Amino acid sequence: MSIIQKIQDKGAWIISILIGIALIAFIMMDYSKGGSMFSNTSTIGKVNGYKIPLADFNDKVSMASQMQNNQNAPREAIEENVWNYYVQTTLLQQAFDQLGLVSNSRDLNNSILNNPTPELKQSFTDPQTGQYDGNRALNVLNEIKRKGTAQQKGEVAKLIDEINQNVLVGKYQTLLIGGVYVPTWLAEKQNADNNAIAKVSYVTVPYSTISDSAVKVTDEDIDAYVAAHKKQFEQKDATRSISVVNFNAAASAADSAVAYNALQNLKNDFINTPNDSAFVAAKGSDIPYTNEYISATQMQQKQLPFAEALNTPVDSTYGPYPYTNVFVLAKMVSKISMADSVKFRHILVATAQQDPQTGQLQQTVQDSDAVKRLDSAIAAIKAGASFDSIALKYSNDPGSANKGGVYDYIPSGQMVPEINDFLFTGKTGDTKIIKSVYGYHYVEILGQKGTTEGYKIAAITKSLDPSQTTIDSVDNVASSFVAANSTQKAFEENAKKQNISILPVNGLRENDYNIGNIGVSRELVKWSYAHKIGEVSQPVHIGTNVVVATLTGITKPGLPDANTVRQYVQPILANRKKAKIIIDSKFKGNTLESYAQSSGSTIVTIDSVSFQTAMIPNVGYEPKVAGVAFNKTLLGKVSAPVAGNSGVFGIQPLSISAKSSLDGGPEQLKVSIKQSWIQQLQRGFIDALMKNAKIDDYRSKFF
């Protein structure tokens, strides 16, 4: 069904190539055409002073939700995507305006001819030669603008708007890329560094030889380290840290038995029903019955839970059996031997159009008028007109009208059921007029490949949901835990006593919605911003879990406190203190032999230290050791003790040489460096715009 559905969904162009997120292009259209995007006085945010109105934001979230209604995306995730889209498209447009970038008719035509969108490339590529015909694409678009239906003109207008935006992004990136330059000296130095190798002898004492209890890292130590590494730790946004305990409220064995028995009691009625579709719908199944044949391969690709039921005799049921979080009762309606894939062509005269506000199909043309129009098209074909020209003139399917109405060898299950069954049960050369929810189709089978088994299966599912009794029981346990543990100290102590795992969730921003890996809860995020450190929340339902949290940290914009970063910084500072103990107590004298004797270690010699990788065999990544090994002023001498990543080292560089270059030398390396920089720029220019922008985000006041 997905291919035909594109007939109505083409208005929702996905423009991920613009900024790397998937959102509908009508948001950009409203912006670029000066629509009502910023007309409301209730403001949800600002981008460099440019207001984002609450009402418009909500409208776009609702539209995006309807477009993604089969993807199970939480509303909070859609809100986040819409917000990012507003911010990024605004920043881009401001950058375009600042530089005076425009997309004119010459840019548009050149893009259509030489740099087509995926939609254009798919529609105007010759399947025989694989060549894209830009001139034909341009002619067809111009023809539709002059003589097409209102729907076709609307689709073309949206496509052109997308192309113009891509042109502007392309021009902007071209300006950025034009500033990338790699000096020759840099390539020569990096080439020399990449090929440098050293022979070195060393003695090492690992930090693990000193007990962790022998060193103490204070908050003052951590604060000093953070202050010395501001760029690494400075935060733009406030964050919260919580610890949570989780009480599982999933369906119990008794709940599962109820679901199983409910389906078991339906088996006889399901077998005997004269109307499978109505029966499945009446029982509220999550898998609607579609009266079409589908292969086992397509079932797997569509994640339909029928693999276990394929050997079931016709007019018999299989199950109930568990699948993911449901029980399934399947009925084998019919089986046939059918083609594996089919090539066909069709002409659609549409009678319905998708409402962009609701996503629902609404009738736009009377059936009688559509039938007359389709009859005219068929008559012209039978009178000798080419199918290609008639499809272009009459068909309302933009996915195929430009290609003579052809779909090239598709598997079963991709068309609406009425068309699917005709294609896979008919034979090459058959034609038929078919009525679908989209309108009237004239369909001709052009070819069939392979054979496979086709199945019509009806199914009733029953979710394995927890009963109210189960939910109430878990709620009581969680509430009792809260009542007995009103402070963070009691929370942590009693959780350990009861063997309840404590999950830390750090870095929660004010507009976040995910609570670690547990699930979505704006309620708990908002709680963390309304309470004090040490307080304990009431139970919060997240999916099939009941969660209780305690607030463990509040981090304001700027540098974090010691408690927030302790888990990251403490090991570094502990090793520094261990290094001092090791140096003071175990590195005596000024030769490797004296170091080895005083530390109880052995001298190790290696001849393959690479400056490029700084890996020490059987030790690991040690850049400080590599730095000493390649210090020419220390050749033949012994270094002072060096505190590395894994321990303290005494190092004696013995020789420095160069291996043969295998990467083409400095010139080729220069090209490689430039390409790497360009890729980083292309991935990061949006982030750079955001970093330097003044973005006021008020979403937490509304959601």
What are the structure tokens assigned to 485, written together?
């543990």
Write the DSSP assignment of 64-95 as a string of letters: HHHHTTTTT--HHHHHHHHHHHHHHHHHHHHH
Could you give the CA distance from residue 583 to residue 634 in angstroms, rounded to a whole number? Answer: 20
Whose structure tokens read 């995910």?
Answer: 514
Could you give the CA distance from residue 454 to residue 423 in angstroms, rounded to a whole number? Answer: 12
What are the structure tokens assigned to 366, written together?
């009377």
- Number of Cα atoms under 13 Å in the Cβ half of residue 146: 7
Q: What is the pLDDT of residue 352?
A: 85
Q: What fold does the segment set 255-463 form as a domain?
A: Chitinase A; domain 3 (3.10.50)
Do 465 and 512 touch, CB atoms closer than 8 A? no
Do 58 and 83 touch, CB atoms closer than 8 A? no
Could you give the CA distance from residue 82 to residue 68 in angstroms, rounded to a whole number? Answer: 13
Reported for 657-662, long-range contacts at CB under 8 A and 24+ positions apart, including other chains, are 657/196, 657/197, 657/198, 657/199, 658/192, 658/195, 658/196, 658/197, 659/195, 659/197, 660/195, 661/191, 661/194, 661/195
- Number of Cα atoms under 13 Å in the Cβ half of residue 634: 19
CB atoms within 10 A of CB 246: 19
Do 322 and 329 touch, CB atoms closer than 8 A? no
Per-position b or e across 363-377, b if 16+ CB within 10 A of its CB:
eebeeeebbebbeeb
Pick from 568, 582, 585: nearest CA to 642: 582
Could you give the CA distance from residue 202 to residue 603 in angstroms, rounded to a whole number? Answer: 6
Phi, psi values for residue 426, rounded to 5° = -85, -165
Q: What is the pLDDT of residue 292?
A: 86
Q: What is the pLDDT of residue 145?
A: 85
Pick from 13, 56, 349, 57: nearest CA to 154: 13
How distant, in Å, are the alpha carbons of 66, 68, 327, 464 from that of 72? 11, 7, 20, 18
What are the structure tokens assigned to 167, written together?
């042109």
Pick from 657, 617, 629, 645: nearest CA to 201: 629
Q: What is the pLDDT of residue 663?
A: 65
What are the structure tokens assigned to 537, written together?
């929340």
Per-position b or e across 602-622, b if 16+ CB within 10 A of its CB:
eebebeebbbeebebeebeeb
pLDDT, averaged across the chain: 87
Q: What is the pLDDT of residue 19?
A: 31
The residues spanned by each domain of the chain are 2-178+694-701, 196-230+563-658, 239-250+466-558, 255-463
For the whole model, what pTM was predicted?
0.68
Cβ contacts of residue 474 below 8 Å, gap of 6+? Answer: 247, 248, 249, 466, 546
CATH number of 239-250+466-558: 3.10.50
Do 618 and 202 touch, CB atoms closer than 8 A? no
Angle, CA 109 vertex, CA 103 and CA 111 arms, to 5°: 75
Could you give the CA distance from residue 71 to residue 549 in angstroms, rounded to a whole number? Answer: 30
Q: Is 204 exposed, middle or buried (0-12, 13-18, 19+ CB in 10 A)?
A: buried
CATH number of 196-230+563-658: 3.10.50
Which positions of the chain have pLDDT values less than 70?
Answer: 1-41, 67-72, 127-128, 355-359, 661-663
**Which of left, alpha, beta for 196 (phi over 0: left; psi -120 to 50: alpha)?**
beta
Q: What is the pLDDT of residue 119?
A: 77
Reported for 524-531, long-range contacts at CB under 8 A and 24+ positions apart, including other chains, are 524/242, 524/549, 525/240, 526/700, 528/240, 528/242, 529/240, 529/700
Query: pLDDT tens, 42-82?
Result: 899 999 999 999 999 998 888 888 766 545 678 898 899 99
Cβ contacts of residue 288 below 8 Å, gap of 6+? Answer: 280, 281
Could you give the CA distance from residue 31 to residue 82 in angstroms, rounded to a whole number? Answer: 13
Do 550 and 490 touch, CB atoms closer than 8 A? no
Whose structure tokens read 């889209």?
Answer: 85
Q: What is the pLDDT of residue 2?
A: 31
Say if 196-230+563-658 and 239-250+466-558 have the same CATH topology.
Answer: yes
